[in-house]
Amino acid sequence: MNKKYIDKNVIKGEIILLLASILWGSCFLFQKKGMDYIGPFTLGAFRFMIGGSLLIPIIYVFSFNKRAEGLRAQYGKKDLIKSGVLCGIVMFFAATFQQIGLIYTTSGKAGFITAMEIIVVAIAAIFITKKIFLNIVLGIVIALSGMYLLCITNGISVQMGDCIVFLGSIFFGFQIMVIDKYSKIYDVIKLSFVQFITSGVMSAICMSAFESIDIGSIIMAVGPIIYTSVIEVAVCYTLQVVGQKYVPPVIAAITLTLESVFAVIFGAVFLGESMSLKEIYGCMFMLIAVIIVQIPSKKSYIIHNKSQNKEHTI
């Protein structure tokens, strides 16, 4: 396998993840707005079920994972469903803890705490015998420093909401790891579909158990529901699965934290929110971190892409 081919695929994966981060940055406002009318489980049930349903026609038209056909004999539909359900369970807990935590903490602190998924991914990767390079460690430190400058304005004081969001960041870290594993085995669109439907069903069960269903409130929240269903779930989460086929998990995690940077930029451009010098420095730190993790030794990229079969690296 030549290096030019490998670099091209890594760059392609990074561009896909960057696009997901940009679009995710636009979704945060709609998440907050939706919760003005409905609870987190209701919002989750609608956005995941609708987002999953939007993938049905795509499944019959496209197949983004060419290896899926060759692996069909080895990994059948039952394996795909089991893997997708596992991804969906992890994503349900990640999204739910983050959404509930936002009720009790500021969006800035939530953004910083969620970025801790980088550390979770790095630690998890080391425990499953993947390698980590010095530039990755440096990128993590710079990224977290940037997130602090970007999100924390009045110092850190730990509250209940912060702890809930932190639980979500742990699950987001594991979600990145399971996607890293299964996106290289199965058709990514089918995997995303099973993942979304699983999260939607779990959200619907919790909605029925813990929240009151009011049709009027749901109608009021139809705008945020549609936007998050289409952009956040159907588009962004699917782009994540596709992008992670080519990008090592820690680098993917760092790239995905740019979501907070773009959220601040969208707020400044479309809502007239001003950016302080501290926030600008935070954005610069985040961009520097993403650039740094793109220049590891060629060996790291080669080993990762050979892991399409067995091995992995960061």
Residues in the chain: 314
Per-residue pLDDT of the chain (314 residues), as tens digits, is 444 444 678 888 999 999 999 898 888 778 878 888 999 999 999 999 999 999 998 887 765 555 545 544 455 788 899 999 999 999 999 999 988 887 787 666 677 777 778 888 877 777 765 566 777 788 888 888 887 887 676 665 567 877 888 899 899 989 999 998 898 888 888 999 999 999 999 999 999 999 988 999 999 999 999 999 999 999 999 999 999 988 888 888 888 888 878 877 777 777 666 777 887 888 888 888 877 876 654 444 444 444 444 444 45
Residue whose structure tokens are 């009021």: 220
Predicted model pTM: 0.78
Alpha helices in 128-187 (DSSP H): 134-151, 160-182
Is 166 in contact with 100 (CB distance < 8 Å)?
no
Is 47 in contact with 195 (CB distance < 8 Å)?
no
Q: How far apart are CA 241 and CA 10, in angstroms?
A: 14
3-state helix, strand, coil in the chain (%, to 5): 75, 0, 25
Q: How far apart are CA 220 and CA 51, in angstroms?
A: 19
